[in-house]
Chains A and B, each alone.
Chain A
């Protein structure tokens, strides 16, 4: 469905090295790695936000609908939640039912700054779903949420993925435990410039655990 062929990406210093990967429908990828390694850079590249990359860097994006949950909610603060959703092209009824799906029924008319961080993130997730995405990009969706809210959001995302088996997901996280719940593939960025390692053995429980175990040792050793 999507082919990533990045030969390298630098800001002042090289961030990403060669990154070759492919994403298929139904993939649930967790992208792990220490902070500052280039996870968001990779996500932005996949989303088409990196205009400095050459044309062939991400193949197949043009035909995909992408929903991107940024680290911040990035809702327009001067528009109500409902208006924010309608702006990406859904009708009023669909927008309301999406807000209902993420547990924000009755909050349609609030402005993003009137609600809590966790609610705003759920509203942003509803906006991702409003475009009926083929690919869902989640950049640290559980950061700075309290544990209960994070668990709720995790099971919400899990059930959304179950309900849309043709949708692919890439979820950036620091936490291997998130990967155990959400992922059927694991990506790991490591080194300077960062290279992508992955583990594709789907479904056989323990294998992902195995990679996580190795990563943990590596991170603690570093």
Chain B
């Protein structure tokens, strides 16, 4: 029997596979000597060029803006729908079939329909992303709403909590893990859909740049933009999501003061 995986892994373990992969890439690129596979240094050069010309920041900014707006809209709408469905079986029965439909609707279909119906405009682009994301948020938050502790509800009723007090002090702390899961999954999904939206119908953004690079088989640019994109996503995870999660789950494992 294998021992179960427990304890902290050694720090070096995080720094093996990725550098080895870059090394392999460099070696293969060196041997093949083709523009279809530029070396890591070529890609880095291209990244620097794009950054110093300002193009990288423009496109990255445009994409980030769309991601932010779509994310906030999707989280609010999805949370409200999920909460309503989790709290009321009738609401759930009413909207569940629609939810299943939307969950299984390919992102590409929504994007095309939005562009066809509303034209190649910003609102259509953001709406397509929101429609793709809302069902996922709703499903996750619905699970959270179903697991709300009825004992704390009773307490809030007896002590006549206002709706706002209930929301802020009773519901959100219990829903927090679900909201975080929706956020994580949500950002990952929205990043990807936004690129497709930009590729199909916008004239700026990372997706648009990838489209342009694809038309001239400029692999160095494709990789440069991808790397920038991954770096930003990681930065958001490390700088915003993880600290937020640590801060809000501190109460879960408090040190016992009295026993």
Stretch at the interface among A44-52, A146-154, A161-169, A187-195: A44-52
Q: Across the A-B interface, how many residue pairs have beta carbons closer than 8 Å? A: 52
Contact of A74 among B155, B251, B256 (CB under 8 A): B155
Stretch at the interface among B69-77, B158-166, B203-211: B158-166
Q: Determine whether A22 belongs to the interface, using a CB cutoff of 8 Å to chain B.
A: no
Q: Determine whether A93 belongs to the interface, using a CB cutoff of 8 Å to chain B.
A: no
Name the prevailing secondary structure of the A interface residues: loop
Inter-subunit contact B157/A70 (CB<8 Å): no
Nearest residue, chain A, Cβ from B249: A78
Which residues on B sit within 8 Å (CB–CB) of A68? 155, 158
Inter-subunit contact B254/A113 (CB<8 Å): yes
Inter-subunit contact A70/B165 (CB<8 Å): no
Inter-subunit contact B158/A115 (CB<8 Å): no
Asked, given contacts A44-B154, A70-B151, A70-B154, whether A87 binds B159 with beta carbons under 8 Å apart, the answer is yes
Inter-subunit contact A113/B251 (CB<8 Å): yes
Q: Determine whether B235 belongs to the interface, using a CB cutoff of 8 Å to chain A.
A: no
Q: In whole Å, how far is B39's beta carbon from the nearest beta carbon of chain A?
A: 51
On chain B, which size bracket covers the interface? 20 to 34
Inter-subunit contact A127/B258 (CB<8 Å): no
Which residues on A sit within 8 Å (CB–CB) of B257? 110, 114-115
Which residues on A sit within 8 Å (CB–CB) of B259? 116
Asked, given contacts A44-B154, A70-B154, A74-B151, whether A114 binds B159 with beta carbons under 8 Å apart, the answer is no
Inter-subunit contact A79/B169 (CB<8 Å): yes
Inter-subunit contact B258/A114 (CB<8 Å): yes
Q: Determine whether A42 belongs to the interface, using a CB cutoff of 8 Å to chain B.
A: no
Q: In whole Å, how far is A45's beta carbon from the nearest beta carbon of chain B?
A: 12
Q: Tell me, in angstroms, the Cα distance from A50 to B259 when the chains sit together.
A: 35
Inter-subunit contact B258/A87 (CB<8 Å): no
Q: Determine whether B170 belongs to the interface, using a CB cutoff of 8 Å to chain A.
A: yes
Q: Which of B209-259 contact A (CB under 8 A)?
A: 251, 254-259
Nearest residue, chain B, Cβ from A110: B257
Q: Determine whether A202 belongs to the interface, using a CB cutoff of 8 Å to chain B.
A: no
Q: Which of A33-72 contact B (CB under 8 A)?
A: 44, 47-49, 66, 68, 70, 72
Contact of A127 among B151, B159, B170 (CB under 8 A): B159
Q: Determine whether B152 belongs to the interface, using a CB cutoff of 8 Å to chain A.
A: yes
Residues 96-119 of chain A, each 1 if its beta carbon lies under 8 Å from chain B, else 0: 000000000000001101111001
Q: Determine whether B173 belongs to the interface, using a CB cutoff of 8 Å to chain A.
A: yes
Q: Determine whether A145 belongs to the interface, using a CB cutoff of 8 Å to chain B.
A: no
Which residues on B sit within 8 Å (CB–CB) of A47? 154, 158
Asked, given contacts A49-B154, A49-B157, whether A76 binds B169 with beta carbons under 8 Å apart, the answer is yes
Q: Tell me, in angstroms, the Cα distance from A44 to B152 when the chains sit together.
A: 14
Asked, given contacts A87-B159, A87-B161, whether A114 binds B154 with beta carbons under 8 Å apart, the answer is no
Count chain A CB atoms within 10 A of each CB in B154, B159, B170 and give the residue with the most. Answer: B159
Subset of 28 A-B contacts with CB under 8 Å: A47-B158, A48-B158, A49-B157, A49-B158, A66-B158, A68-B155, A68-B158, A70-B151, A74-B154, A74-B155, A76-B152, A76-B169, A76-B170, A78-B173, A79-B169, A87-B159, A87-B161, A87-B169, A110-B257, A113-B254, A114-B256, A114-B257, A115-B257, A115-B258, A116-B258, A119-B258, A127-B159, A131-B159
Binding site for B on A (CB under 8 A): 44, 47-49, 66, 68, 70, 72, 74, 76-79, 87-88, 110-111, 113-116, 119, 127, 131
Binding site for A on B (CB under 8 A): 151-152, 154-155, 157-161, 165, 169-170, 173, 251, 254-259
Beyond A44-B154, A68-B155, A70-B154, 15 additional contacts (C-beta under 8 Å) are A66-B158, A68-B158, A74-B152, A77-B251, A87-B159, A87-B161, A87-B169, A88-B159, A88-B160, A110-B257, A111-B251, A111-B254, A113-B254, A114-B254, A116-B259
